Amino acid sequence: GGLLAKKEKRLVLSRGSSKVLYSLPQDDILLAEFRPELGVDGKKVFKIKDRPRIAAELQAFIFAYLETYQIPTHFFSQNGSELLIKRLNVIPVEVTVRNLASQSFGKRFKHFKPKQQLDFPVFEYLLKDETGEHLVNDTHLYALQLLTPDEFRTVNRLASKIDAVMKSFLERRGFTLIDITMKFGKYKGVIMLGDEISPENITAIDNSTGEEISVVSARDSREATKHYQLLYNRILPSAKRKA
C-alpha cells in the first residue's frame, strides 16, 4: 500500500487509451492507473461507468487466478483503481487465440460463419510498431530479432494454456469464449503475461441469450458498459465486489 500512496514520487511513463503508466522509485515496478474512458482502434471512445475500479478489481482477480495455474504474470498488487505491475521488456506483438469465429473473423474468412466452432484453434500474431499493425508469423519475429524459436514456443505454450484456463473458467460462469488477445514481455529473463486480461480483450457468447459479448465492438458507451458489467458480475465472486 505504501508505494501506491506516494503520488509525488510518480512519473508519467505513458498515457494509453485505457490507462496511465507511472514509473516509481523501484526500477522494476510500475503503477497502472485505469481511466474512466476506453479508447478503441483510435476511433471510438467509450465512457464506462465505474471503469477504473472494476477494471482494476477484475484484472487483479484474473491475474491471481491464472497464477494458481503456474502462469507467470506481471501482476504485483491492487489498491482501488490502481495496480502495481512488474516492469516488463514488452514484446510488441498481440497474440490472439480463436476458438470460434467472431463476426470480424467471419468477415475476413468467408468460409466461417459467426460463432462457428473452429476445428483447430487459430493463433494470430499482430505486430504493432511505428509503421502500423501487421499480421505476422514466427519467421517474421525471428528475422526482426523480437523472439528466438525457443521464446516463440514459450509464448505459444502460455497463450494456449491461458486460453484453456479462461475457456473453462468462463464456461462455468455461463459464457463460451470466442477469442482472447494477450501480450507478453520479459522480466528478469522470464517470459510472462503482461498488459491485461479483461472484458476489453475477450470476445464471448452469453450462453443464456446467445448474444456476442465484446466491449470493443460495442455500438456505444451504453452497450460497452452493459457488456463490461455483465462480465464483472459473473466473473468476480460477490464477496470480492465493492459495488
Residue ranges per domain, the chain?
A: 2-86, 89-240
Q: Which residue type does 31 have? A: L
Say which residues have a Cβ less than 8 Å from residue 15's Cβ, sequence separation at least 6.
Answer: 21
Beta-sheet pairing, 37-40 with 44-47? antiparallel
E strand or H helix that includes residue 2: helix 2-5
CA distance 22 to 33: 8
Best CA proximity match to 203, nearest among 182, 183, 177: 177
What architecture is the 2-86 domain classified under in CATH? 2-Layer Sandwich (3.30)
Contact 87, 99 (CB under 8 A): no
Report the alpha-carbon distance of residue 11 to residue 20 in Å, rounded.
10
pLDDT (0 to 100) of residue 1: 46
| pTM over the 0.75 mark | yes
Query: How far is 70 from 68, CA to CA, in rounded Å?
Result: 5
pLDDT of 95-136, one tens digit each?
Answer: 999 999 988 888 888 889 889 999 999 999 999 988 889 999
As assigned by CATH, the class of the 89-240 domain is: alpha beta
Q: Where are the alpha helices (DSSP H) in 68-211?
A: 103-108, 138-143, 149-171
84 CB neighbour count, 10 Å cutoff: 20
pLDDT per position as a tens digit, 130-188: 888 999 999 999 999 999 999 999 999 999 999 999 999 999 999 999 999 999 999 99
User: Which residue is listed with cell 470476445?
Assistant: 203
